[in-house]
Amino acid sequence: MIASLVSRALDRGALAFLATLAAIGILVPVLNLLVPATSPFYLSSYFVALFGKYLCFAILALSIDLIWGYCGILSLGHGAFFALGGYAMGMYLMRQIGTRGVYAHPVLPDFMVFLNWPELPIYWYGFQHFAYAAFMVLFVPGLLAFVFGWFAFRSRVTGVYLSIITQAMTFALMLGFFRNNFGFGGNNGLTDFKDILGFNVQAPGTRAALFMISTLALMLGFVICRVVVSSKFGKVLVAIRDAEARTRFLGYRVEAYKLLVFTLSACMAGVAGALYVPQVGIINPSEFSPGNSIEAVIWVAVGGRGTLTGAVLGAVLVNYGKTYFTSGVLAPYWLFVLGGLFVAVTLLLPRGIVGTIHHHWREWRDGRHPDGTRVQHAAPRAAE
């Protein structure tokens, strides 16, 4: 049954996109590990880590597009789920340091020894095991999203009000994680990682493996999203996006649909954060910043809301631009560039890059229809 759902969800465009990702996931590590450094085709470990980070951002953008592009839920706090997944992985990596830390304590991380913590907090138990940490990467963001969504959707909070409270949620978490007595490293966060599953996180082979795993995670996330939006469940989500009150009057439990897709999206964001941390080497409370969540929404808008592939493309393009513009004389003006980009896309390309391409392709295809008829295609509506 699952195979039939996947086969129905993946058209030629989706298969081509997956094939491109698979080629990137194989080619980049090969050019990094097997090609001599003197070759013009050689890719440095810095490049692998940088684009591995972009892939993690692409998974986050995909999770936002699932709820915003297809269900009309504009979350400005998805960075919270991303950061929680990152902290869960960071706690596992910290437990792997052991006596190799600055203070050589066999159990307590360095920051706890520095702050004179007498023992390991109970919520750190179990994170010495990778399986437990992987479970928490999904469970913690999913639980927060479920509880938050349960109250928000049952109260029928929608539109800009929902966006504001999601932003308030991530801001509250940021303030909490900044406190040293929370047991998460305070302002400095978690860093100085050594191993993951026994492999040195700084080794080129480990970085290449993490890049491949990030590519696989993005491919899996894309397939899950395609299956969801192509199913009857996805059709109901689009109906909720376009006419929530009418969908409710038809007998659908709108709150249940929104809660399920919101929780799924949060779990995807948590996986993105977990893959991000070992490749970047640090996780701190700044990842909860509301600005990060807003920036992720801009990625989706630039690429094309309601297209999935557009969310991935937007995340990679905008972050590559950020890397390029923040490394030279234009660094102080990056936020102006980003804001101008969002305004320009809103005014000139309201469907985003991929959405605009799809729109013009449909117009061209319909114009060449044998019977001369034109089919109207609904464009994604803005979140109300």
Task: Determine the pLDDT at residue 380.
Answer: 52
Distance separating alpha carbons of residues 89 and 136, to the nearest angstrom:
8
Crossing angle (nearest 10°) for helices 45-71 and 309-325: 130
Provide the residue ranges of all domains of the chain, joining segments of one domain with +. 2-367
The stretch 20-39 carries a mean pLDDT of: 94
150-193 pLDDT tens trace? 999 999 998 899 999 999 999 999 999 998 888 899 999 999 99
Q: Is there a contact between 290 and 167 (Cβ–Cβ < 8 Å)? A: yes
Q: What is the mean pLDDT of residues 211-220?
A: 97
pLDDT of 35 reads 92
In which band, very low, low, confident or very high, does the pLDDT at 138 lie, cut at 50, 70 and 90?
very high
Retrieve residue 29's tokens.
Answer: 């590590």
C-alpha atoms less than 13 angstroms from C-alpha of 168 in its C-beta half-sphere = 8
The overall average pLDDT reported for the chain is 90
State the pLDDT confidence band at 357, using cuts at 50, 70 and 90. confident
CA distance 100 to 57: 31
The whole-model pTM stands at 0.92
Average pLDDT over residues 121-130: 94
Mean pLDDT for 91-110 is: 91
Residue-wise pLDDT for 230-272, tens only, equals: 999 999 999 999 999 999 999 999 999 999 999 999 999 999 9
Q: CA–CA separation, 177 vs 183, rounded Å?
A: 8
Assign 3-class secondary structure to the chain: CHHHHHHHHCCHHHHHHHHHHHHHHHHHHHHHHCCCCCCCCCCCHHHHHHHHHHHHHHHHHHHHHHHHHHHCCCCCCHHHHHHHHHHHHHHHHHHCCHHHCCCCCCCCCHHHHHCCCCCCCHHHCCCCCHHHHHHHHHHHHHHHHHHHHHHHHHCCCCHHHHHHHHHHHHHHHHHHHHCHHHCCCHHHCEECCCEECCEECCCHHHHHHHHHHHHHHHHHHHHHHHHHHHCHHHHHHHHHHHCHHHHHHCCCCHHHHHHHHHHHHHHHHHHHHHHHHHHHCEECHHHHCHHHHHHHHHHHHHHCCCCCHHHHHHHHHHHHHHHHHCCCCCHHHHHHHHHHHHHHHHHHCCCHHHHHHHHHHHHHHHHCCCCCCCCCCCCCCCCC
